[in-house]
Structure 1
Amino acid sequence: MLLPHQFIGEFLNQRFDKDVRRNYFKGMEFAAPVGDPGWFGPGSAVWHVHSHMQSLIFGLQCAAFMERLDPSIFWMGMHHSRLVKRDDNGVAVPEIDPKGAVVRLGHSIAFFIGTAYGSTETAERLALTVRSMHHTIKGTRPDGARYDADDPDWLRWNYATVVWGLATAHELYHPNPLRGKKIDQYYREFIRVGHALGGTDLPETKAEVAECLESYLPKLAVTHGTAVATGPELPMAQAAINWAIRDTMPRWAKQLIQHKDPNIVERTARRAAVWSVINGLHLAQGPIPEFRQAQARVKSGTTVKHTLPAYRLGDDPVRSRDEVERAFADA
């Protein structure tokens, strides 16, 4: 007979298999080829951090919130993303579309699990798919400023927000978090993902990432989308998640959105509550199968310590948006 937490875990895993793994993990290889360490391999900080999927998902939400402080990111989403709702004329409105949010989250989870634990070929294919989508995202904001998802400056901002969100969520909510030099090991390893997506001149440590993020402050703003996603009028559950996300932001970013930390006692209690939820879910669901498959793949040793992304700037074939969409569907 299943215990209550086992029953909950079984239910959540079945839902994840149906809603995410079946739709977004297609064609990804974790069990073979034997001896292939992928981009990171056993003993890596990335394998440790990404194995806790619940804090990984939370970290992706933190990264997305920070990322859209860049007005160009906001308008890229409004013009190109299924994440936002659209009216009867197809014009985007600054509200999250629930179905689009599921698709976006599914692709994101698949990417960060696939590049962490997948075979080298799997990681390369995932990176190519994301780069190909970025190549199609170009346009003009309503204020006349141009945006381009291949812009090195944008790629640096995007990379810094993602690695900060993932690493900070890990430090706060993983039951065995990396600290000090060990968390810097994660930052140094994860840079391979940034390079694979076309990033250059990327920060390599926690301190460098913090400095990089703050250097963008003159370019940032509270967009309409950010404004309607925060504030005191949110439903209770959404407000709690929103607080936990904002709590991970650097001090200057909190000031930008007028977030004030509560006193240390209340802040500690709030974090403890979030920790309990995240780790309760992790306990119920258990280790992700992809991590176990990757461990089995290299249990007898690896051919090399790890492989490195093979992408070189300008190497990608030119593909239309429709071709990229089909590649996403197949991936």
Structure 2
Amino acid sequence: MSKRPLPKVDFLHPQGAPALYSQDSLHWHVFKNPVALFVGGITAVLLELAEERVRTGVWEHSIFPTDPLTRMERTGLMAHVSVYAPVEVAEKLIRGVVAMHARVEGKTPKGTPYRANDPELLDWVQCTVSYGFMEAYAAYCRPLTDVQRDRFYKESVASARLFLAHGAPQSQAEQRQLFEKLQPHLEAHPIVQQFLGIVKRTPAVPWFLRPLQSMMLRAGVDLLPEWLRERLALHGAAWKLRRWERSLLKNLGAALERLPIPNFPPTLASRRMGLPANHLYRGPGASGDLPTGATRHYQN
């Protein structure tokens, strides 16, 4: 069976078309960095696969076990569409995902019923995505304050509402409450190890990062709460991130904060909005400081 091609998305046109998130949002900064995207994506998926209903839905109704590269490419594209694509494009593609999820339901091996569009599961998935990408960015790209973290969660309403995750956390406090609520339902499972093995073998990052992919995989594990790493049996030496590796990834993440990638959605979207291609890549300073304080101007 031939695989379905990825949707073609024009991030450069039409000129001036706004995205769900504005160019002064934290999301525009966080989602531009390949280190944050890969490391944070690993953290988010591990949190999701630890939940019985989400795990069964993902493993039984997606192509990840058989075609992981295409599945990861689609996930990465949807992340960029949600943040950088024109509003009409983002809304159309997200509606397609929601419609697809409406057909995903069943019972877990334990007999627990699940629906992909269950509000509790939608809120959990949105929470894991925000937590994973944001904490990866803070750990390996640029530090974030608690005020900025709260702003990031508040901003996420822009796409969360379209994914029907109306109860997704809008602050760190709400994120911690949801982690505490779901903690009893998070568990070890062979699929977690299977997922990590698949990602380790699959060339899932740009060519210049592939020598570091295994290291970045462990960095994603490292961002999990300590209690969950222990519960998932991911606290041993095989998954430990060494000090020099952490330093290397931080240097790499910081370097990619200043290096625009040609024809990459963040640079194309900046040009669409009449900004320089390096708008998001100027580093700390008068034109490169991260947004702080109250959320401004994102679409709602």
Shift in Å at residue 107 of structure 1?
0.8
Q: Do structure 1's residue 124 and structure 2's residue 80 form an aligned pair?
A: no
In the aligned structure 1, how far is the partner of 2:70 from the partner of 2:105? 21
In the aligned structure 2, how far is the partner of 1:150 from the partner of 1:297? 33
Pick closer, same or farther for the CA change 1:83–1:275 going to 2, 3 Å.
Answer: same
Shift in Å at residue 198 of structure 1?
0.7
In the aligned structure 2, how far is the partner of 1:70 from the partner of 1:137? 16
Pick closer, same or farther for the CA change 1:66–1:133 going to 2, 3 Å.
Answer: same
Where do 5+ consecutive residues of structure 2 fail to align? 202-210, 276-295
Alignment partner of 1:216: what SS? helix
Structure-2 residue corresponding to 1:290? 265
Residue in structure 1 matching 2:82, options 102, 106, 115? 115
Residue in structure 1 matching 2:55, options 50, 69, 74? 74
Alignment partner of 1:203: what SS? coil
Structure-2 residue corresponding to 1:243? 218
Alignment partner of 2:156: what SS? helix
Residue in structure 1 matching 2:70, options 89, 93, 103? 103
Structure-2 residue corresponding to 1:320? none
In the aligned structure 1, how far is the partner of 2:7 from the partner of 2:242? 37
Shift in Å at residue 196 of structure 1?
0.9
Structure 1 window deviating more from structure 2 (197-206 vs 52-61): it is 52-61
How many residue pairs match? The answer is 264
Residue pairs, 1:182-331, within 5 angstroms: 182-228=148-194, 240-260=215-235, 267-276=242-251, 286=261, 289-299=264-274, 305-308=297-300
Structure 1 window deviating more from structure 2 (286-295 vs 209-218): it is 286-295
Alignment partner of 2:114: what SS? strand
TM-score normalised by the chain length of structure 1: 0.70
Shift in Å at residue 169 of structure 1?
0.8
Pick closer, same or farther for the CA change 1:78–1:35 going to 2, 3 Å.
Answer: closer
Matched AA of 1:60 = G
Structure-1 residue corresponding to 2:140? 173
In the aligned structure 1, how far is the partner of 2:236 from the partner of 2:244? 12
In the aligned structure 1, how far is the partner of 2:213 from the partner of 2:272? 40
Alignment partner of 1:136: what SS? coil
Given that 1:156 and 1:200 are in contact with CA atoms closer than 8 Å, whether structure 2 keeps it comes out as: yes
Structure-2 residue corresponding to 1:327? none
In the aligned structure 2, how far is the partner of 1:185 from the partner of 1:78? 33
TM-score normalised by the chain length of structure 2: 0.77
Given that 1:52 and 1:287 are in contact with CA atoms closer than 8 Å, whether structure 2 keeps it comes out as: no
Residue in structure 1 matching 2:16, options 35, 41, 44? 35
In the aligned structure 1, how far is the partner of 2:233 from the partner of 2:105? 31
Shift in Å at residue 287 of structure 1?
5.6
Shift in Å at residue 189 of structure 1?
0.7
Given that 1:159 and 1:194 are in contact with CA atoms closer than 8 Å, whether structure 2 keeps it comes out as: yes
Pick closer, same or farther for the CA change 1:259–1:102 going to 2, 3 Å.
Answer: closer
Given that 2:123 and 2:165 are in contact with CA atoms closer than 8 Å, whether structure 1 keeps it comes out as: yes
Given that 1:60 and 1:165 are in contact with CA atoms closer than 8 Å, whether structure 2 keeps it comes out as: yes
Pick closer, same or farther for the CA change 1:249–1:33 going to 2, 3 Å.
Answer: same
Given that 1:173 and 1:278 are in contact with CA atoms closer than 8 Å, whether structure 2 keeps it comes out as: yes
Where do 5+ consecutive residues of structure 1 fail to align? 1-21, 85-96, 309-331
Q: Do structure 1's residue 24 and structure 2's residue 6 form an aligned pair?
A: yes
Matched AA of 2:165 = G
Shift in Å at residue 25 of structure 1?
4.6
Structure-1 residue corresponding to 2:35? 54
* Percent sequence identity over aligned pairs: 24
Matched AA of 2:250 = W
Structure 1 window deviating more from structure 2 (120-129 vs 273-282): it is 273-282
In the aligned structure 1, how far is the partner of 2:74 from the partner of 2:30? 19
Alignment partner of 1:72: what SS? helix
Pick closer, same or farther for the CA change 1:282–1:83 going to 2, 3 Å.
Answer: farther
Pick closer, same or farther for the CA change 1:292–1:273 going to 2, 3 Å.
Answer: closer
